[in-house]
Amino acid sequence: MPKALLLENIHPLAAEALRKDGFDVETMTGALNEDELIDALDGVDLLGIRSKTTVTRKVLDARPELSAIGCFCIGTNQVDLGAAASKGVAVFNAPYSNTRSVVELVICDIICLMRRIPAHTHHMKHGVWDKSATGSHEVRGKTLGIIGYGNIGSQLSVLAEALGMRVVFYDLDEKLAMGNARRCETLTELLEQSDAVSIHVDGRKSNRGFFGEEQFAQMKPGAIFINASRGFIVDLDALKNHLDSGHIAGAAIDVFPEEPKSKGDPFITPLANEDNMILTPHIGGSTLEAQKNIAVFVAQRLVDYWFRGSTMLSVNLPQITVGACKSAARLCHLHQNFPGILAKVNQYLGEQDLNITAQSLGTEGEIGYAIVDVSGKPSRNTLDALEAIPGTIRLRVFERD
C-alpha cells in the first residue's frame, strides 16, 4: 500500500481522496524542520505540504524513494524544484484554487483602510469616541496600483473596477489588461499616482526585498499599502517609518519574513502598535471554500501521477497528460534531455518484442519525460536495460492486472 504524509493541517478532503484510492495516509497539523522531515519521510511515497515546510536538496537526497510533492497552496518556493526534478520527484500546486479568497481579502483591506476602520476600532476599544470624517474616504474614484498582474492581480483588477476604482498595474511581462485597467511602464509611474498599492508577485529569489525605502518614498502621500503575496518581498522597517511619519495612511500585511510554524505559536511584530494597521496571519487563501478546492485539486494531481504517470500542471517536470493505461504495461521514463534517449528506449523494447501501443514525449529545459504503453509485460532484464540508459533519472512501471 503506497504511503502519503500530509503536513500543516491540510483540509481533510485531501486525505479522504487519497485513502479512497488506496493510500495509507498520515496527517500532521504543524510544519517540520529539515531533520524532522527527513525522519518523517521514511517509507513515504507522496508528501503534502503548505507554505511553512521547506523541502531542501538535503531532504530529497536523504529520501530517494519519495515520488511526488503536493504543495496545497499557490507558491512552490518552499521546495527546491531543481533538486526535485533531478531526483525524479514531481511537484504540483494549486495555482488558481484560492485566487478569489485572496482577492476578497485585499478588497476588504482596501475598504477598511480607506475608512480607517482599524484606527476607529482601536480607539473605541480604549474608550475614545472619535466620530470624524477626517482621513476617511470612499474607494470610488480612487486609483488602485497593482504590482504583479497574474491570476490574483488581474482578478483584483476586475473587482476593484466594479467598485468604481481606476486601476493601473505594473508587471515585468506583457499582460493583457482586464476591463479599463492601464499598464504602467515603470514601477515609479504606478507608485506616484496610486491611492492604494497592492503587491501580487511570485516567490522567485529576485523578488526578495524588492519593495523598500526607495519605493515607499515614491508612493503618493496619504496612500495605503497592502501585501498579501510573499513576506520577504517588503522591508517592514521601512514601512513602519513611513507609517509613523504619516506619509502612508495605513497598511495591511498578511505575510511576513518569518512566520510561526504552527497555529498558536507566539508572534511579534513592530507593526502591532501602528494606528491604521491590519495584521492577519497569512490567511489570504484560507477560506473553507479555497481549502476544499485546493485539497481536491492537488490530491487529484498526485493520484493521476501515481497511477497514470500524468504530469499535468507539474511545476518542475515536462507536462504530459495521459488517460488510463489500456495496454499490458506503461513505462514512465524520466531522463536528462539528451539526444537519442527515446530511440534507445524504443530499441530495447523492440528487442524484447514489446509492441508500442501509445507513446508521449515531453521536454522541459534539461529534463525529458517519456510515457510508453506496451503490449506485454516487460521482463526484469528489459527494465534493467532501460534504467541503465545514460541520463536516466527514474523509471516507473505500471502493469495492468
pLDDT tens string 100-157: 999 999 999 999 999 999 999 999 999 999 999 999 999 999 999 999 999 999 999 9
Dihedral sign, Cα of residue 156, residue 157, residue 158, residue 161: positive
- Spatial contact of 96 and 149, defined as CB atoms under 8 Å apart: no
Mean pLDDT of the chain: 95
Q: Give the per-residue pLDDT at 401.
A: 63
What are the structural domains, with CATH classification, of the chain?
1-97+287-317 (3.40.50.720), 99-279 (3.40.50.720), 318-401 (3.30.70.260)
Higher pLDDT, 213 or 400: 213
- Spatial contact of 171 and 153, defined as CB atoms under 8 Å apart: yes
Per-residue CA distances from 155 to 86, 101, 301, 377 (Å): 35, 11, 25, 49
Of 57-61, 322-326, 390-394, minimum mean pLDDT range? 322-326
What integer is the mean pLDDT of 262-288? Answer: 91
Supply 43's cell numbers: 517509507
Split at pLDDT 50, 70, 90, the class of 253 is very high
Q: Give the per-residue pLDDT at 278.
A: 97
**Biggest distance spanned by C-alpha atoms of the chain:** 87
Dihedral sign, Cα of residue 180, residue 250, residue 282, residue 258: positive
Tell me which residues are annotated as active site: 230, 259, 282
CA distance 267 to 259: 8
* Residue 399 in this model has a pLDDT that exceeds 90: no
- Spatial contact of 197 and 225, defined as CB atoms under 8 Å apart: yes
pLDDT digits (tens, 9 = 90+) for 107-123: 999 999 999 999 999 99
* Residue 96 in this model has a pLDDT that exceeds 90: no
Split at pLDDT 50, 70, 90, the class of 92 is very high
* Residue 89 in this model has a pLDDT that exceeds 90: yes
pLDDT digits (tens, 9 = 90+) for 366-389: 999 999 999 999 999 999 999 999
Length of the chain: 401
- Spatial contact of 284 and 97, defined as CB atoms under 8 Å apart: no
pLDDT digits (tens, 9 = 90+) for 297-319: 999 999 999 999 999 999 999 99
Q: Give the per-residue pLDDT at 318.
A: 96
Split at pLDDT 50, 70, 90, the class of 98 is confident
Over pLDDT 90: what percentage of the chain?
89
Q: Give the per-residue pLDDT at 97.
A: 84
What integer is the mean pLDDT of 160-165? Answer: 97
Look up cell 525522519; give the residue: 39
Expressed in angstroms, the distance from the first to the final Cα of the chain is 16
CA distance 66 to 5: 11
Q: Give the per-residue pLDDT at 239.
A: 97
What integer is the mean pLDDT of 264-272? Answer: 91
* Residue 391 in this model has a pLDDT that exceeds 80: yes
Strands 166-170, 182-183: pairing kind:
parallel
CA 298 to chain centre: 11
